[in-house]
Amino acid sequence: MAAALPFIGAVFGAISAVKQHKAGKEASEMQEQAADRQRQAALQQESLGRKNQQLVLKEGAEQERRATIEEGEAAASRRAAAAASGTTGVGSQDIFMGAQKDKFLEEVDWMRSSSKSRGEMARQEGKTSGDLTRASAASTDASARMTASRADSSLWSGLGSAVGGFGDAYTQYGKTGFGW
């Protein structure tokens, strides 16, 4: 029976090596799946950034539209007030009205610029988030390859040890008989 122990140990070593290899390959596959999910998340983050950009631009356009309506109403009120005052100083009224219109146009330009800037920031945030998630996916992929490589190494190392165990057992007991 003592002679069989090295052979039994070698068999169990081979079985263990195969199990470790299988577990390593499964872990590697799980990491690859996680990397795929990360790449999908990166695409979604970039898409969300673009959608947020469009939303900000639409909100800006709506603010501009409302401001234009309000300014039109305010300008009409100013004209009505000037007419009701009975003043005939058309030149100063024209200068005042022109200055108010110029001020409003500057505000509208600022609204557009601000909206475009905020929209670009929203898009860039989505892109940056996507880039970071994509980098994480690349790291996860590298881990998956490393895990798979370690699983292969473990298999060959374990099988090599098992073969060595068979050789040692044969050397020790093969020439003299196994005593079974």
User: Which comes out higher in pLDDT, residue 163 or 124?
Assistant: 124
Q: Say which residues have a Cβ less than 8 Å from residue 33's Cβ, sequence separation at least 6.
A: none
Residue 86 in domain = yes
Q: Examine the pLDDT at 88 and tell me if it is beyond 80.
A: no
Residue 179 in domain = no
Burial pattern 71-103, b for ≥16 Cβ within 10 A else e, equals beeeeeeeeeebeeeeeeeeeebeeeeeeeeee
Report, as an integer, the average pLDDT of 147-164. 84
Q: Which domain holds residue 159?
A: 4-174
Residue 20 in domain = yes
User: Which comes out higher in pLDDT, residue 163 or 49?
Assistant: 49
Residue 89 in domain = yes
Residue 64 in domain = yes
Report, as an integer, the average pLDDT of 101-111. 94
User: Which comes out higher in pLDDT, residue 169 or 156?
Assistant: 156
The pLDDT of residue 51 is: 96
Q: How confident is the model at residue 84 (pLDDT cuts 50, 70, 90)?
A: confident
Report, as an integer, the average pLDDT of 95-105. 90
Q: Say which residues have a Cβ less than 8 Å from residue 105's Cβ, sequence separation at least 6.
A: none
Q: Tens digit of pLDDT for each residue in 40-76?
A: 999 999 999 999 999 999 999 999 999 999 999 998 8
User: Which comes out higher in pLDDT, residue 81 or 59?
Assistant: 59
Stretch among 105-109, 116-120, 132-136, 172-176 having the lowest mean pLDDT: 172-176
Overall number of domains in the chain: 1
Q: Examine the pLDDT at 89 and tell me if it is beyond 80.
A: no
Residue 149 in domain = yes
